[in-house]
Amino acid sequence: MQTFWYKNALVYSLDVETFMDSDGDGIGDFRGLTNCLDYLAGLGINCLWLLPFYPSPNRDNGYDVMDYYDVDPRLGTLGDFVEFIHQSRERGIRVLVDLVVNHTSIEHPWFQSARQGKTSKYHDYYVWSDNPEPNPALVAFPTVEESIWEYDEQAGASYLHHFYKEQPDLNIANPKVQEEILRIMGFWLELGVSGFRIDAAPFLIEEVGMENAHLFDLKQFLERMREFLANRSADAILLAEANVSPDQIPVYFDEGNRMQMLFNFLVNQNLFLALARQDAATLKEGLKILPSIPHNAQWLNFVRHHDELTLDRLSDEQQQEIFAAFAPEESMQIFGRGIRRRLPPMMQNDRRRIEMTYSLAFTLPGTPLVRYGDEIGMGDDLSLEGRESVRTVMQWSNAANGGFSKASPDALTRPVISKGEYGYQQVNVAFEQRDPTSFLNWMEHLIITRRQCPEFGSGKWRILETDKSAVFAHACEVDKTTVIALHNLSDQSCIVNLPEIPHQHLMEIFSDNFSLSRQQQKYDPLDENSYAIAINAYGYRWFRMSSMD
Ligand code: GLC
């Protein structure tokens, strides 16, 4: 029987630079991360997604790569990387790495050579134009960049860049560039990675400005990547960052021969609208508009990640509703379409609501993502620029610098949060490990329970209609075993009717009563003769259903 490990993985994303510093220079490194693997294994995660760790001038947090075949010397060496992979594998943890090949850094030797003009063999690695259209609608970072073209004096032409001007787009229509990309993949696969997060996938196959693009269908490159991957590693995967409309999703999965996984941006945005409205309707709609996907394909569900919470698929009014609920001040918003906050501050640190949100994201059809710091309820630092606000260093203990580094505080790669309710003095791993009622212990319980319920990851799912619009209820089934989850998005407790499910078949496996942090009303045992189920304000209840035959 073929299994798809990624369908029931627990993915944890982190940036090596901000996770753990082993040598006291103020910058996280691979040795530091390797020392934390027991912590991660203990948390129950079994797949790591590493943000870019390659040499980079860091205009875009490492998403501007100047050498695809090395580790940024500030973070360690290739030797440290291999040891990290080995130690991860020892603990049953797979590693995905970011593949950032829509663009390079302007400091990449290919670009430096390409600027010398047509005589350079790298000139056609990039996309050039003599009369470019600014095309502001295609700019990925509106409010920061105005055009997708930048004039380069040395080249005497403009180069394409969907992102910052320091990130020139590669010319994917050039077969030599495709070969380079496969070679990069081959390198990291040989070093033991279990796949790649394909950064900016829609831009990678976008034809804008590419002269040769018409010669073949760029989308087929996704198939080529997959074929190459499968030839080199039996179970490695491609996870694409593709925030696209529902009709574009099949481009990435196709017949199950392109990407195995996609970030679920559509559900993420509809989830936040539902949370803001305290009404499940838009979440249901968000799920219903997803096209069905091939049997080997999977969604990656997330609450927040390292970028802004983008709301670009929602209408202006809907965006405003979410801003009003979760980011009312302009300083909390970014790019005119997103939020640069972590979840706890968005929810005024209301533990009930934060738990319910993660519980919901973990049960939605797909594989869940946890981002470093989520598990301890870390906050953000709005005094930092742009998306840096949600990229502060990990808070390990109440030692100086939150235990992240022994460097002097002004040498830290990014400041630690040291003030207020999210300060490292109280929000940290060591403290929360000792407190049985902590968010960390709750999260561990959530992760373990989720891993015991593969139905959520690989089951057939259906939405259960209830009589309460604030309650989202759904069932997931594999091989005749079914799990059911109920989430109350509102701040009012209620009794919800689940007319399809007789109670004698339900056994509770997880709920907000499991949280030891609050003295709150316990749920009464289910009354066998009723279809009514009590649920607290921002409550959640998971059930396993015994056979109804
Ligand atoms: C992706 C990354 C983001 C980066 C951009 C350009 O969207 O998630 O952080 O800025 O690509 O590489």
> For the whole model, what pTM was predicted?
0.97
Closest ligand 1 atom to residue 305 Cα is 8
Whether 20 is in the pocket of ligand 1, judged by its Cβ within 6 Å, is no
Whether 60 is in the pocket of ligand 1, judged by its Cβ within 6 Å, is yes
The H or E element containing residue 180 is helix 175-190
Residue to mutate, 60, 106, 139, 263, ligand 1, most ligand atoms under 8 Å from C-beta: 60
Q: What is the pLDDT of residue 214?
A: 66
Q: What is the pLDDT of residue 211?
A: 73
Q: Among 216, 118, 228, which residue's Cα sits nearest to residue 180?
A: 228
Q: What is the pLDDT of residue 174?
A: 94
Q: What is the pLDDT of residue 522?
A: 72
Q: Among 219, 190, 217, 187, which residue's Cα sits nearest to residue 203?
A: 219
Q: What is the pLDDT of residue 113?
A: 98
Tokens for 234?
Answer: 């039996």
* CA distance linking residue 547 with residue 549, whole number of Å: 6
Closest ligand 1 atom to residue 60 Cα is 10
* Cα–ligand 1 centroid distance for 243 (angstroms): 12
Average pLDDT over residues 8-32: 98
Closest ligand 1 atom to residue 63 Cα is 12
Q: What is the pLDDT of residue 549?
A: 65
Q: Among 160, 170, 110, which residue's Cα sits nearest to residue 140?
A: 160
Q: What is the pLDDT of residue 3?
A: 79
Phi and psi for 95 in degrees, rounded to 5?
-125, 125
> Could you give the C-alpha distances from 528 to 90, 501, 503, 511, in angstroms and in order?
47, 11, 5, 19
Tokens for 541?
Answer: 């209840």
Angle at 310 between CA 306 and CA 314, to 5 degrees: 160
Closest ligand 1 atom to residue 163 Cα is 6
Phi and psi for 164 in degrees, rounded to 5?
-60, 155
> What's the pLDDT band for 173 if we cut at 50, 70, 90?
very high
Average pLDDT over residues 454-464: 95
Tokens for 311?
Answer: 């709301």
User: What pairing do the DSSP bridges indicate for beta strands 532-535 and 367-371?
Assistant: unpaired
Q: Among 258, 206, 250, which residue's Cα sits nearest to residue 228?
A: 258
Average pLDDT over residues 140-158: 94
* CA distance linking residue 349 with residue 84, whole number of Å: 34
**% of the chain beyond a pLDDT of 90:** 89
What residue owns the CA closest to ligand 1's atom 7? Answer: 200
Average pLDDT over residues 77-88: 98
Phi and psi for 470 in degrees, rounded to 5?
-80, -15
User: Domain extents for the chain?
Assistant: 5-102+173-451, 109-160, 459-547
* Cα–ligand 1 centroid distance for 56 (angstroms): 14
User: What pairing do the DSSP bridges indicate for beta strands 494-497 and 532-535?
Assistant: antiparallel
Contacts of residue 68, defined as CB under 8 A and 6 or more positions apart, other chains included, come to: 54, 101, 184, 187
Residue type, 352: R
Q: What is the pLDDT of residue 516?
A: 53
Q: What is the pLDDT of residue 521?
A: 52
Average pLDDT over residues 276-304: 97
User: Quick check: 479 pLDDT over 70?
Assistant: yes
Whether 100 is in the pocket of ligand 1, judged by its Cβ within 6 Å, is yes
In sequence order, the β-bridge partners of residue 534 are 495
In sequence order, the β-bridge partners of residue 263 are 300
What value does the mean pLDDT of the chain take? 95
Question: Would you tell me which CATH number, out of the four given (3.40.50.720, 1.25.40.10, 2.60.40.1180, 3.10.129.10), belongs to the domain 459-547?
Answer: 2.60.40.1180
DSSP state of 501: -
Catalytic residue among 80, 199, 206, 279: 199
User: Quick check: 133 pLDDT over 80?
Assistant: yes
Closest ligand 1 atom to residue 307 Cα is 9
Q: What is the pLDDT of residue 207?
A: 84
* Cα–ligand 1 centroid distance for 291 (angstroms): 25
| Residues 99 and 202: beta-carbon distance below 8 Å | no
Instruction: Estimate to the nearest angstrom the gap between the alpha carbon of 393 and the chain centroid.
Output: 18
Average pLDDT over residues 469-483: 95
Catalytic residue among 241, 307, 380, 432: 241
Q: Answer whether 5-102+173-451 and 459-547 agree in fold.
A: no
**Is 241 an annotated catalytic residue?**
yes
End-to-end Cα separation, the chain, in angstroms: 26
Whether 380 is in the pocket of ligand 1, judged by its Cβ within 6 Å, is no
> What's the pLDDT band for 524 if we cut at 50, 70, 90?
confident
Whether 199 is in the pocket of ligand 1, judged by its Cβ within 6 Å, is yes
Question: Would you tell me which CATH number, out of the four given (1.10.1670.10, 3.30.2320.50, 3.30.210.10, 3.20.20.80), belongs to the domain 5-102+173-451?
Answer: 3.20.20.80
The per-residue pLDDT for range 216-252, each reduced to its tens digit, is 788 999 999 999 999 999 999 999 999 999 999 999 9
Residue type, 481: T
Least confident interval from 131-145, 294-308, 383-397, 403-417: 131-145
User: Quick check: 503 pLDDT over 90?
Assistant: no
Largest separation between any pair of C-alpha atoms in the chain: 81
Q: What is the pLDDT of residue 5?
A: 96
CATH topology of domain 109-160: Oligo-1,6-glucosidase; domain 2 (3.90.400)
Average pLDDT over residues 286-303: 97
* Cα–ligand 1 centroid distance for 519 (angstroms): 42
Angle at 145 between CA 144 and CA 149, to 5 degrees: 170
Q: Among 12, 21, 99, 22, which residue's Cα sits nearest to residue 53?
A: 99
Whether 307 is in the pocket of ligand 1, judged by its Cβ within 6 Å, is yes
Q: What is the pLDDT of residue 154?
A: 97
Q: Among 11, 91, 17, 93, which residue's Cα sits nearest to residue 369?
A: 11
> Could you give the C-alpha distances from 235 to 74, 91, 269, 298, in angstroms and in order?
31, 17, 30, 14
* Cα–ligand 1 centroid distance for 307 (angstroms): 7
Q: What is the pLDDT of residue 2?
A: 60
Q: What is the pLDDT of residue 296?
A: 96
Whether 15 is in the pocket of ligand 1, judged by its Cβ within 6 Å, is no
Q: Among 233, 215, 148, 152, which residue's Cα sits nearest to residue 178?
A: 215
> Could you give the C-alpha distances from 203 to 59, 135, 198, 207, 244, in angstroms and in order?
19, 14, 11, 8, 11
User: Quick check: 478 pLDDT over 70?
Assistant: yes
The per-residue pLDDT for range 338-356, each reduced to its tens digit, is 999 999 999 999 999 999 9
* CA distance linking residue 464 with residue 174, whole number of Å: 49
